[in-house]
Structure 1
Amino acid sequence: MWKTGLVAVGVTLTVAVGAAEVAYAAPGELPSVVAYVRNGDVYVSQGTGEKRLTTGSGHARPRWSPDGRQLAFLKNGRLWTMRSDGTAARQLSARAAAGPSWSPDGKWLAFASLSCTGGPGVYRIATAATKTAVPEVLFPRDCRGEELPEEAAAVPAGRGVPAPLNERLATDDAVAWSPDGRRLAFRGGDCESTYDACLSVGTLADGSEKTVAAYGGGSLQNRGFAVVPSWRSDGAKLSWTAFQEGETAAESKPVHLVEYDTATGAKRILGSAMDRELAYVDASRAVITSQNSGRSWVTVLGLATGTRVLFRSGSQPSVQPVRR
């Protein structure tokens, strides 16, 4: 059974929003700053105050650098970086990009883009690169050394009624670099030759891939997706956002969060229905995007207890690494 409602944890502040009251995480409850997106712009906050880093909308998927001094993000579907205070923004690649991820040493950014197979591929580009630099193919392995495929012209976003959340998430190609620097998690991969949708963990050294979630095809009588992967800082856990339609209502699951044990392969569902886009704070907490009164909210989730507290209106959270 899905849990609903919000339970305040630690010290909170209650603030009126319209006719409703919501709980905010109090300053100092989180050990570092969270970046997130609201109305197409990037904001940062550690508690009750917040700072807007971008203007003009069109921004998505902010991701902190390992040293916490920079953010990678998407601007109109292209890869950019900026300092943690929003200054010195610069474009790294002219190629269409999806959800970036930093290498643990901070020298590279991985991102998804069209591959030589016609499906999503994973590339890397040096963080010191200019937008004329050519990114390097990481996955699929068979595309390494091949010329980069030409990209179709961008189609302007529609102004009509937005597609349902599960449809918008289904093709989100955000990637996640493992804390040991050896692996990348990404949507698709070689498993798409067997399944209708899947999530892979690829090993950089040899280009091999492991399927960690799959839907449809290959004797699986379901439909769904697994997207927006996120590693815990010790590499012991990998989470992602999932959706599943089964043969029966009991086998169907709305948008939800899955946590995967990288040693045993065991999986468990975290949080509540419609939770998504998890980013670990530590072994006991994460920030996620949840639904509240029809809006997206960044929410602090207790991983063992299921306790929840609203943090900020927005989505796509990323937690700044704690500087040591």
Structure 2
Amino acid sequence: MKAVIKITGTTALAVFGMAAGALFAPAAASAATPTLPSLVAYVRTGDVYVSKGATETRLTTDGGYNRPRWSPDGTQLAYLKGGQLWTMKADGSAKRRLTTRAASGPSWAPDGKSIAFASLSCSGGPGVYRISTTATNAQPQVLFPSDCRGEALPASPSPATAAPAGLNDRLRTDDAVAWSPDGTKIAFRGGNCESTYDACLTVGTVAAGGERTVAAYGGGGVQNSGFAVVPSWRADGAKLAWTAYQEGETAAENRPVHLVEWDAISGAKRTVGATLDRELAYVDATRGVATGQYNGGSYVMVVGLSGTARTPFHAGSQPSVQPIH
């Protein structure tokens, strides 16, 4: 079933659950570095760092790293390098390449035995694949679109040589995926909804291959443009957050880059964080870490999910929170 919400005028404020002033005016950030219950991995100038408080550890020194993602047991990180999927231990050792085709936005299965990633599908749009983390010379298997599951894998696209300069352009085609904590669903950019809308975000059912549209822009009677990317599940699977951008029918309906949280049961949406906050990863039910703007650059911020509290953590972006066991 497709769930599409047209965001216009005062309706947009009600749907997002905030006043316009709260959306467009970031809260002041405190200078004290908070201590978190587990490590956060993040990227700064192309290298991966980890920290849970004031002290940080640099895991890599050769640059070119993107989208680090913790394994469910917290002992490994998946990441992108050279446009392909790699893993390494939590201390930065034992680096291992898993794919030989272009890959985007990894997410671990809850059992840690496979990783989902995005790459070109048989339909020509973004698709979702899984690859084993334990088998030798493992080959990717198609998950979405489900119609591609019986087809030969398309030729691998060439990895992008350079990222677009603007923030919106970089995010617009970010194909990060998110595997739900119970293992039954994956959230991803695109999907069958692209036959109706200009841009969309999908939650797909892994077993049956069904798809549900949770955000849509342009086409299908939706008179706006924008994107919804970089999804992230809360640990209990009850909430899904993503990074969004919208250009409405009028200037009053425009929304710069912001974070949306979706209730997986009711389908209700609300905005969390401040303008230009993006790439949320949940710490717990009340806090997340997100990339925001601070001191003139990108900074990992600890964001309160029930108000406007925002505290700077460390310079960087693309945070991922180590699961607690």
The answer, yes or no, to whether TM exceeds 0.5 is yes
Scaled by the length of structure 2, the TM-score of the pair is 0.91
Scaled by the length of structure 1, the TM-score of the pair is 0.91
CA distance in 2 between counterparts of 1:320 and 1:49 reads 16
Q: What residue number does 1:19 align with? A: none
CA distance in 2 between counterparts of 1:204 and 1:96 reads 22
Q: Are 1:24 and 1:47, in contact at CA under 8 Å, matched by a contact in 2?
A: no
Alignment equivalent of 1:141, drawn from 138, 146, 162: 146
CA distance in 2 between counterparts of 1:156 and 1:62 reads 19
Q: Which amino acid aligns with 2:74?
A: G
Q: Are 1:241 and 1:256, in contact at CA under 8 Å, matched by a contact in 2?
A: yes
Alignment equivalent of 1:50, drawn from 51, 56, 80: 56
4+ residue segments displaced more than 6 Å: none
Q: What residue number does 2:25 align with? A: 3
Matched, 1:150 2:155: yes
CA distance in 1 between counterparts of 2:32 and 2:257 reads 24
Q: Are 1:37 and 1:314, in contact at CA under 8 Å, matched by a contact in 2?
A: yes
Query: 1:176: how far off?
Result: 0.1
* Structure with larger RCO (C-alpha < 8 A, sep 6+): 2
Q: Which moved more, 1:254-263 or 1:300-309?
A: 300-309
Q: What residue number does 1:15 align with? A: none
CA distance in 1 between counterparts of 2:135 and 2:84 reads 14
Q: Are 1:243 and 1:256, in contact at CA under 8 Å, matched by a contact in 2?
A: yes
Q: Are 2:233 and 2:240, in contact at CA under 8 Å, matched by a contact in 1?
A: yes
Q: What residue number does 1:276 align with? A: 278
CA distance in 2 between counterparts of 1:246 and 1:25 reads 37
Q: What residue number does 1:201 align with? A: 203
Query: 1:155: how far off?
Result: 4.8
Q: 1:264 to 1:142 in 2, by over 3 A?
A: same
Secondary structure of the residue that 2:170 maps to in structure 1?
helix
Q: Which amino acid aligns with 1:275?
A: D
Percent pairwise identity:
66
Q: CA deviation digits over 1:143-195, x for unaligned, max 9?
A: 0021110123345327xxx5210111000000000011000000000000000
Q: What residue number does 1:17 align with? A: none
Residue correspondence of structure 1 range 44-123 to structure 2 within 5 A: 44-123=50-129
Q: What residue number does 1:243 align with? A: 245
Q: What residue number does 2:296 align with? A: 294
CA distance in 1 between counterparts of 2:142 and 2:32 reads 42
Q: Where do 5+ consecutive residues of structure 2 fail to align? A: 1-20
Q: Which amino acid aligns with 1:6?
A: A
Residue correspondence of structure 1 range 165-176 to structure 2 within 5 A: 165-176=167-178
Query: 1:129: how far off?
Result: 3.7
CA RMSD in angstroms comes to 1.2
Q: What residue number does 1:16 align with? A: none
Secondary structure of the residue that 1:42 maps to in structure 2?
strand
Matched, 1:33 2:55: no
Q: What residue number does 1:233 align with? A: 235
Q: Are 1:177 and 1:183, in contact at CA under 8 Å, matched by a contact in 2?
A: yes
Q: Which amino acid aligns with 1:133?
A: A
CA distance in 2 between counterparts of 1:114 and 1:123 reads 9
Q: Are 1:3 and 1:271, in contact at CA under 8 Å, matched by a contact in 2?
A: no
Query: 1:292: how far off?
Result: 1.6
Query: 1:118: how far off?
Result: 0.5
Q: CA deviation digits over 1:50-92, x for unaligned, max 9?
A: 1111122110000000000000000111100000000001101
Q: Are 1:92 and 1:129, in contact at CA under 8 Å, matched by a contact in 2?
A: no
Q: 1:146 to 1:243 in 2, by over 3 A?
A: same
Q: CA deviation digits over 1:107-149, x for unaligned, max 9?
A: 110000000001000000011144x432000000000021110
More strand by share: 1
Q: CA deviation digits over 1:9-41, x for unaligned, max 9?
A: xxxxxxxxxxxxxx2424xx2100000000111
Q: What residue number does 1:307 align with? A: 309
Q: Are 1:178 and 1:184, in contact at CA under 8 Å, matched by a contact in 2?
A: yes
Q: Where do 5+ consecutive residues of structure 1 fail to align? A: 9-22
Q: What residue number does 1:11 align with? A: none
CA distance in 1 between counterparts of 2:108 and 2:50 reads 18
Alignment equivalent of 1:192, drawn from 173, 183, 194: 194
Q: Are 2:101 and 2:157, in contact at CA under 8 Å, matched by a contact in 1?
A: no
